[in-house]
Chains A and B, each alone.
Chain A
Amino acid sequence: MTSSTHPASTGSSATPSTATVQMLTPDGERLDLDEGRRAELEQAVGAEALAHAAALTADDLLGMYRDMALARRVDTEATALQRQGELGLWASLLGQEAAQVGSARAAAPQDRLFPTYREHAVALVRGVDPAHVLSLFRGVDRGGWDAEATGVSPYTLVIGSQTLHATGYAMGVQRDGAVGTGDPARDTAVLAYFGDGASSQGDVHEAFVFAATYQAPVVFVCQNNQWAISVPAERQARVPIARRAAGFGFPGVRVDGNDVVACYAVVRAAADRARAGEGPTLVEAFTYRMGAHTTSDDPGRYRPSVEVEQWRDRDPLARLEAHLRRHHGVGDDAFAEVAREGDALAARLRRDVLGMREPGHGEMFEHAYAAPHAHVEADRRWYEEYVAGLEHGGAAADGEERA
């Protein structure tokens, strides 16, 4: 295996024989618009993906930049809040903005997205208030945003379990007749997010089997960020993860996960396939987690800093900024405006987090079941009486002392 430090650029993929599809170079050039490179790219991802990339306007691209920048700003603020003791934990997305924004922007409004616990940019793109995301990490809530309104399911912390939920949901979509109708407002795809570590989990493989068996309209979006906490990707997979799809009988493609254009175009084409009833696709976004797995670990203990520096040169925001400046005439003002918006969002987020209501003790008894359950009710009654007894007992004791 080639080491995970190998550059993820076209023509020099991490492993021979699996090209890593790139459309936007680290220098900000668009390969998909280069006549000399189009044939090669078309062979790798199909004409549809190229067409989706080509259709992106300057506004679209600036919008993608904005999403990535805001997500990064949220991440920075959340990391700071954790360091200040305001969050119990934070799972940083630093470095994975393009994979998340590109894929999430490829989803149609009716599509359903099943994240793991690091898809903060996906949540942001879909209109989930970042404060809801942080409420999970602050420990005041399970992150209960409105999954129906946003199309984003709750985070799951058991690695890979949500890939099966996504597949089952997609099987439901099929039964609802919401695939292959040709109606773009009705046909529905499902996106299942997971990481390179999860690719070792049985549930992910079972999800592949079920999705292939039923030709479920699901796009598996694997963000290969190279590290499963301290275990490198090459200790999880002897072949590129994208190649596993072939063994299950559906297409797999590896894209440069730091290239928002390629991530968008490839996932968009895969989601279109799913909506048309042509079954699942695995997209491996080859990217890098620039920070720790979570605020609980220290990546300095398990990975060389030279590797981090190499990936810094492939920063997903920097390359899109370079492209926007050079080819679309976007100037300092626009980037300054995004930065201001980010700062305002971060300030608001900080206020919201610090002002979050502590959950009442009675809330832990709520929604354990959809219908009343005798044991929960009994424990709730006991607890309420116990707490009331403490309060009254305390007052009585005070009274006795005074007497």
Chain B
Amino acid sequence: MTDDVHGTPGEGRTTQRVTLSRAINLGLRAAMEKEPKVLVMGEDVGALGGVFRVTEGLAKDFGDDRVLDTPLAESGIVGTAVGLALRGYRPVCEMQFDGFVFPAFDQITTQLAKMTHRTRGAASMPVVVRIPFGGGIGAVEHHSESPETYFAHTTGLRVVSPSNPVDAYWMIQQAVESPDPVVFLEPKRHYWDKAELDTAATPYPLHRSRVVRPGTDVTVVAYGPTVPMALRAADVAAGEGRSLEVVDLRSLTPLDLGPVEESVRRTGRLVVAHEAPTFLGLGAEVAARVAETCFFSLEAPVLRVGGLAVPYPVSRLEEEYLPDADRLLDAVDRVLDT
């Protein structure tokens, strides 16, 4: 870890420059301090602090009873979290990597997502499933997946993804406070991105999207790891005299498309970017909804920029697979040329 500041802010100072990984750590700390029923559980989350060090120091400060180094069993982690939630606890489960969430898929989609409905609301499921997700770190198989659509498709779950340290700090706390299960997607290749975090600021609502860069020519919708990419593309486009408006979805379910629709009514053009394959991806949903609500404002078809219809490739090829600023700008060219 190469943070400028270690430990929680003190002596009245509320601002510090932190990485995204550290921001989640600070958010978890704040949540655990505020509510004794919050537990952190997962593989290697204790002494090691998680493979990405997101839970570093929590076991030391909060004890083994609240930070559980679990056996290596993803279904077991989520399934026991369901039981702990039934007993009044608020577990935050870590899946070590995106590709390893699938052994827990059954517990997440058939149990965690359904328990509130099954009990007619008598049991809430305040469980967070943290998943380091997405590619770009040169990893081996199963370490670079984008499983968001599987979860966003299941009613009963909420799915969110921060794209920067400030959102990460607040969103993890809001996810812990949610009475519903939240799949929390952490853009792993941005764990080391830094930003100025003011822990005394007012948090932005969890399920609201946000315009992160205003523009006039084309609306670009992104979330998680594609937000920094879209911002880079916007910089490049600006150099070419094109103004991109970038909207960070932040929440995948529920979707907040208000700012997107408002933007599209001004720009008339929309490109959606995500790392998951475009086929049946979030982009398809955004495109369909915007076509429904903004049909007469659209000057060009909505385009999607995403991963390809191939298994996530070997790391030497992942830059070919992943959408990047060039691919996004190519799509921008196409919607502007229409």
Which of A's residues lie within 8 Å of B, judged by CB? 114, 141-142, 144, 146-148, 153-154, 156, 158, 161, 163-173, 175-176, 202-203, 206-207, 209-210, 213, 366-371, 373-376
Chain B: minimal CB distance from A199 (Å): 16
Q: A367-B119, A367-B121, A368-B117 are in contact. List 7 more A-B contacts (CB 8 A).
A: A165-B79, A172-B83, A202-B75, A209-B71, A210-B71, A366-B120, A366-B121
Count A/B pairs, Cβ under 8 Å: 142
**Given contacts A144-B120, A370-B180, is CB(A169)–CB(B79) below 8 Å?**
no
- Residues on B with C-beta less than 8 A from A147 are 86, 119, 122-123
Q: Which residue of B lies closest to A209 (CB)?
A: B71
Interface of chain A, main secondary structure: helix
Would A370 and B121 be within 8 Å (CB), given that A158-B111, A207-B76, A209-B73 are in contact?
Answer: yes
Contact of B80 among A171, A368, A373, A376 (CB under 8 A): A171
User: Which of B75, B76, B86, B116 gathers most chain A CB within 10 Å?
Assistant: B76
A10 to B180 Cα, complex, angstroms: 50
B: residues with CB less than 8 A from A are: 39, 65, 70-71, 73, 75-76, 78-89, 103, 106-107, 110-111, 116-126, 155-156, 158, 178-180, 207, 253-256
Known: A161-B106, A206-B71, A375-B255. A142 touches B111 (CB 8 A): no
Min CB–CB distance B72 → chain A (angstroms): 9
Question: Please, could you name 30 A-B residue pairs with CB atoms under 8 Å apart, sorted by A?
Answer: A141-B120, A142-B117, A144-B122, A147-B123, A153-B86, A158-B106, A161-B107, A163-B79, A164-B83, A165-B79, A165-B82, A165-B86, A167-B76, A167-B79, A168-B80, A168-B87, A172-B88, A176-B87, A203-B76, A206-B73, A206-B75, A209-B76, A210-B70, A213-B70, A213-B71, A367-B121, A369-B158, A370-B125, A374-B254, A374-B256
Complexed CA–CA distance, A64 and B116 (Å): 34
* A371–B179 CB distance below 8 A: yes
Task: Provide the bound-state CA to CA distance between A173 and B83, in Å.
Answer: 10
Residue of B nearest to A158 (CB): B110
Is the pair B86, A168 in contact by a Cβ cutoff of 8 Å? yes
- Complex: A114 Cα to B83 Cα, angstroms: 10
A164, B76: Cβ atoms closer than 8 Å: yes
* Interfacial chain A residues near B156, Cβ < 8 Å: 368-369
- The answer to whether A148 and B122 touch across the interface, beta carbons within 8 angstroms, is yes
Task: Name the CB-closest residue of A to B70.
Answer: A210
Q: In the complex, A157 Cα to B180 Cα: how many Å? A: 22
Per the bound structure, the CA–CA distance linking A142 and B110 in Å amounts to: 14
Decide: A154 and B83 in contact? CB cutoff 8 A: no
Are A164's CB and B65's CB within 8 A?
Answer: no
What is the chain B residue whose CB lies nearest that of A166?
B83
Q: Top 7 A-B pairs ranked by shortest CB distance? A: A168-B83, A164-B79, A172-B87, A168-B80, A206-B76, A370-B179, A374-B254
The answer to whether A168 and B84 touch (CB under 8 A), given A154-B119, A206-B71, is yes
B59: min CB distance to chain A, Å: 15
Output the least CB separation between B288 and chain A (Å). 13
Find chain A residues with CB under 8 A from B126 CB.
370
Cα–Cα, bound, A173→B86 (Å): 11
In the assembled complex, which residues on chain A have CB atoms less than 8 Å from the CB atom of B207? 374
Query: Contacts A147-B122, A169-B86 known; A161 to B253 CB distance under 8 Å?
Result: no
What CA separation (Å) do A98 and B183 show in the bound complex?
Answer: 42
Q: Which residues of B contact A207 (CB under 8 A)?
A: 76, 79-80
Interchain CB contact (< 8 A) of A144 among B78, B110, B119 = B119
* CB pair B254 A164 closer than 8 Å: no
Q: Which of B80, B106, B124, B179 contacts A210 (CB 8 A)?
A: B80
CB-defined contacts of A168 to chain B, threshold 8 Å: 79-87
Considering the chains assembled together, what is the distance between the CA atoms of A146 and B123 in angstroms?
10
B271 to chain A, nearest CB (A): 23
Q: How far apart are A297's CB and chain B's nearest CB, in angstroms?
A: 22
Question: A residues within 8 A CB of B125?
Answer: 370
Q: Using CB atoms, name the residue of chain B closest to A202.
A: B75
- Nearest-neighbour CB distance to chain A for B105, whole angstroms, equals 12
Name which residue of chain A comes closest to B122, CB basis: A147
Q: How far is the CA of A164 from the CA of B84 in the complex (A)?
A: 10
Q: Of B85, B110, B118, B254, which contacts A375 at CB under 8 A?
A: B254
Q: What is the bound-complex CA distance between A156 and B119, given in angstroms?
A: 11
Residue of A nearest to B83 (CB): A168
The answer to whether A165 and B111 touch (CB under 8 A), given A154-B119, A171-B83, is yes
In the complex, how many angstroms separate the beta carbon of A177 from the nearest chain B beta carbon?
Answer: 10
State which of B75, B82, B88, B116 has its C-beta within 8 Å of the C-beta of A369. Answer: B116
B87 and A376 contacting across the interface, CB-CB below 8 Å: no
Contacts of B88 in A (CB 8 A): 172
Least distance between A358 CB and chain B CB atoms (Å): 16
Structural contact, B86 and A368, CB atoms closer than 8 A? no
Complex Cα distance A164/B112, Å? 12
Residues of A within 8 A of B81 (CB): 168
Q: Among the listed A175, A209, A213, A369, which residue makes an inter-chain contact with B89, where contact means beta carbons less than 8 Å apart?
A: A175
Residues A169 and B119 in contact, CB atoms below 8 Å apart: no
Considering the complex, give the chain B residue whose CB is closest to the CB of A192: B83
Contact of B107 among A169, A203, A373, A376 (CB under 8 A): A203
CB of A36 to closest CB in B, whole Å? 44
- Among B80, B116, B120, B256, find the residue whose CB has the most chain A CB atoms closer than 10 A: B80
A369: chain B residues at CB < 8 Å are 116, 156, 158, 179-180
Q: Which residue of B lies closest to A153 (CB)?
A: B86
The reply to whether B87 and A173 form a contact with Cβ atoms under 8 Å apart is: yes
Q: B83 to A165, Cβ gap below 8 A?
A: yes
Give the distance to chain A from B37, nearest Cβ to Cβ, in Å.
9
List, in ascending order, chain A residues with CB within 8 A of B180's CB. 369-371, 373
Residues of chain B within 8 A of A368, CB atoms compared: 116-117, 155-156
Q: How far is the CA of A37 from the CA of B252 in the complex (A)?
A: 65
Contacts of A161 in B (CB 8 A): 79, 106-107, 110-111
Q: What is the bound-complex CA distance between A369 and B255, given in angstroms?
A: 15
* Interchain CA distance A176-B39 in the complex, whole Å: 13
A203 and B122 contact, Cβ closer than 8 Å, known pairs A165-B86, A169-B84: no
Q: Give CA–CA (A114, B89) in the complex, Å.
A: 18
CA–CA, A11 to B123, complex, Å?
46
Instruction: Name the A residues within 8 Å of B110 (CB-CB).
Output: 158, 161
**Chain A residues with CB below 8 A from B75, complex form:** 164, 202-203, 206
Bound-complex Cα distance A336 to B123 (A)? 41
Contact A142 B82 (CB under 8 A): no
Q: A173-B87, A175-B65, A373-B254 are in contact. Are A206 and B106 (CB under 8 A)?
A: no
Chain B residues within 8 Å of A164, by CB: 75-76, 78-80, 82-83, 107
